[in-house]
Amino acid sequence: MITLILPPDRWNDMRFPVGILSISSVLSRNGYENVVLDSKLLDGTDKNPDDLILENLRKTSSMIVGLSSYIHEQVYVAKIAKKIKELNKEIFVMVGGPQPTVAPEFYLKSGVDLVVRGEGEETIIPIIEEIKGSRDFEKINGVSFIRNGEVFSTPSAPMIKDLNILPLPAYDSSNIKHYARISSRVIRGVPLKTASIMTSRGCPFSCTYCMGKLITGKKVRFRSPELIYEEVKLLRDSFGFEAIYFLDDTLSVSKDYVKNICLIMKELGMLWGAQERVNTVSASNLRDMAKSGCVQLDFGIESGSNRVLNEIAKKNITVEQSLSSQRLVKSFGIRTFSNFMIGFPTETRKEMGDTFKLAKKIKSDEYIFAILMPIPGTPIWDMVNPDIPPDRMSEMNFFGGELVDLYNRSEVKNLERVRTKFTNSLYIRSRFRKLLFYPRFLFKLSKKNFSRLPNRIVIDLLYEINLAKGQMIYTLKNIKPLRKAVRSIKRNLYKRSY
């Protein structure tokens, strides 16, 4: 038995863990029995997730464990790997995902046996065969391990050329009841039963803060329309999903491919959303998108300064394109979700102000203002060169926190307060736009005979309450006297603990 563990930090996420489910599917196709541990372990119990994971390993006597890790999970994954080794030191523990790919040393020095770098579907079977055999991992590309007391990395494995050879993700191995619920957190702000899938891998762009291309490369590889049709139909017919969110870095990097997606979604009667770029959308594609059920497109606007966009972020877009693309999308009745970022190296107060002015101008339906968080392996990380201990890496946060000052290289101090001010100023406007959207949305649902309209409204209302609560917490945190009081309490508690 092989056990694949999704870190508990993601158990409440409403988007499928596509990477782990894809590995599970490859293992099953090659005859290896495996189980995915996720939020289904919580069913009917209030036990600690770590205890549940270890209890499951005892029951199954699993001797091979695979973990996935993002940067914010780095410390947790090292901790649970140590606990697994304490349970049975013979259990072979391997880790894959974005953060292990760029920083394998931390995991290996924490007791992990093997790090899988990059895409894992073609690597996993040779790894399993070596674990069961001579354990000569040097002949496998794309792995790192300890050799003679030192971290040793084999050459990177090539990207998977033909994605069509991969089986569909093992959706039935996940907690499908959790993911197949009505939620406003997949296509954000829209209450639907939404599944998340990936139709392509790779990104041809060179954004300095993004690590996506470090995992999937710059060359875009597409899955066939026939496979996409099969996957979407399975999710609709077998699990009751009503909508799809496409996880591709940029869906319309190929306009012909988008047309095929639109034909599939229209034929299957599904609503959908996707990630887009301001310089790849076109009127012809948007017309097809709107007719095929597209309800929202997510954009990385990032900044209102052309200097920041192109000299620092290397996005190769302009403020003018951001404005015109949003108007164009809205003219076809499609909602927009806009991501903004402050805290770029050398960014001035005026440039941050220009970002806020742009956010007001584009009148997006949903916003996120984030603080630049440098990720190891990206050009921004090298530019910022933050002095952050590896065991504190998990504390980095897009919304603030104690480590921000260690990597803030902008000309503005207290980015958390600036971010809160910008977000609060736009909050009421975006909620008002959502009220205007609702009649059209409910009409669209009634035309498709989607049921449980009252439930959707209640679920979305809870989403809005949580959103408002989050805004209030960040606002209170940034009131100066309260901030000082909280720090004083923390200092006193720290002193008493020693």
Same domain, 200 and 116: no
Structure tokens at 89: 């030191």
**Looking at the structure, do residues 123 and 191 belong to the same domain, yes or no?**
no
Claim to verify: residue 184 and residue 149 sit in the same structural domain: no
Q: Are residues 134 and 263 in the same domain?
A: no
Same domain for 207 and 121: no
pLDDT in tens, 4-60: 999 999 999 999 999 999 999 999 999 999 999 999 999 878 889 999 999 999 999
Hey, is 183 helix, strand or coil? strand
Task: Give the span between the Cα atoms of 337 and 339, in whole angstroms.
Answer: 7
User: Where do the DSSP E strands lie in 326-436?
Assistant: 335-342, 366-371
For residue 396, the enclosing domain spans 180-477
CATH number at residue 421: 3.80.30.20
Task: Show the low-confidence residues of the chain (pLDDT under 70).
Answer: 449, 451-452, 471, 473-498
Q: Note whether residue 194 is domain-resident.
A: yes
Whichever domain contains 63, its CATH number is 3.40.50.280
Residue-level pLDDT at 439 = 80
Position 478 scores a pLDDT of 59
d(CA 291, CA 332): 9
Residue 172 resides in a domain: no
Asked if residue 142 and residue 211 are part of one domain, the reply reads no
Answer with the one of 153, 168, 203 that is the final residue of a domain: 153
Task: Quote helix, strand, coil % in the chain, to nearest 5.
Answer: 50, 15, 35
Task: Note whether 430 and 324 are same-domain residues.
Answer: yes
> What was the pLDDT predicted at 463?
81
Residue with tokens 């069509």: 164
| pLDDT tens column, 121-151 | 999 999 999 999 999 999 999 999 999 999 9
Find residue 37's DSSP bridge partners. 5
**pLDDT tens for residues 377-403?**
999 999 999 989 888 988 998 998 889
Please indicate, yes or no, whether residues 264 and 317 belong to a single structural domain of this protein: yes
Asked whether residue 163 is assigned to any structural domain, the reply reads: no
* Residues 414 and 342 grouped into a single domain: yes
Contact 128/114 with Cβ under 8 angstroms?
A: no
Measuring CA to CA, which residue among 274, 168, 186 is closest to residue 223?
168
* Total domain count, the chain: 2
Q: 233: helix, coil or strand?
A: helix
pLDDT in tens, 297-312: 999 999 999 999 999 9
Residue 486 inside a domain? The answer is: no
Q: Which helix (H) or strand (E) holds 147?
A: strand 143-147
Q: 86 in a domain, yes or no?
A: yes
Asked whether residue 436 falls in the same domain as residue 382, the answer is: yes
Q: Tell me, yes or no, whether 158 lies in a domain.
A: no
Stated pTM of the model: 0.90
Q: Which DSSP symbol is given to 187? A: T
Q: Are residues 202 and 62 in the same domain?
A: no
Asked if the structure places residue 426 within a domain, the reply is yes
Examine the domain organization and report whether 61 and 117 are in the same domain: yes
- Domain assignment present for residue 427? The answer is yes
171: its two tokens? 């959706």
